[in-house]
Structure 1
Amino acid sequence: MRRFRFRLQGFLNLKEQEERLQRLRFAQALLEYQERLRILQSVQMGLEQLQQTKRELRRGLIQPEFLIMGELYEARKRNEKEEQKRLVDEAKERLAKAEESFQQVLKEKKMLERMKKRAWKDYYQEYLREEQKYLDEVGNLCFWRHQEETR
């Protein structure tokens, strides 16, 4: 009997490599998203602390220069927050695309694995049929030899 050979094995190997690559890309996108989110949270906390400090300073006497500097700094922090939100959204989009690509590769790989499993099952069934045919033939030979010996 011929050896089992899955004709799409090369393609399956390629999909396994592609799966590893997409898994890596997904992990990188996830790390980038988490880092951007962490930076955004840090900026938001800084802005909240700044606003809290401004509220505390308004209770007492404050010099106009400090007030102007504080307003400029707060405006800069707000711009930084908006920029960081934009970067988080972009990272989230890249993460979604990477996840979609990864899921697609997994789906294709699983389909190929099912095809391989089905091909193996067919091969094994054929092997068992041939084995049974061989055993039947041996049994028949033994039976007829025994019949001739008893005559």
Structure 2
Amino acid sequence: MPEKILRNTFTVPAPMEVAYEHLVRPENYIGLSPLVVAVEDVQEGSYVAVERFRLLGLKYDNRIRVSLEGTPGKAVWGEVKSPGGVHMAYRFEFADSPEGTRIEDELRLRTPLGLMAFASGQARKVQLARATILAERLGRS
């Protein structure tokens, strides 16, 4: 399976504890990824995210199992297993910054042959949007 690593570092205007608490709660991922429209089946350490895609005017809801773990104030991480054979490990690492919290967002994608360009393009769009959305959300808290 091909693998690709995507990284983005950004700063949010909030203390590390606030950033951690936001990212360790499944319900906060609704809208944090522009594709995630719902969270279902929340269990200890995992949940199902509903990603909504629109292709050729048709709506498709992709339900993906997401594991979610963390070390308070330091990092949040997990894995996503999508029905199309796309696997993604993610990690958010936190560091103090004069402006609040610096977050290093890393995604490791593995896909079947032929899907990497589409999957990595979608993942990168979400990763960059997430930085802006998270900064806006935590700036209001």
The answer, yes or no, to whether TM exceeds 0.5 is: no
Q: By percentage of residues, which structure has more strand?
A: 2
- TM-score (normalised: structure 1): 0.25
Q: By percentage of residues, which structure has more helix?
A: 1
Determine which structure has greater relative contact order: mean sequence separation of CA pairs < 8 Å that are 6+ residues apart, divided by chain length. Answer: 1
Higher CA-based Rg: 1
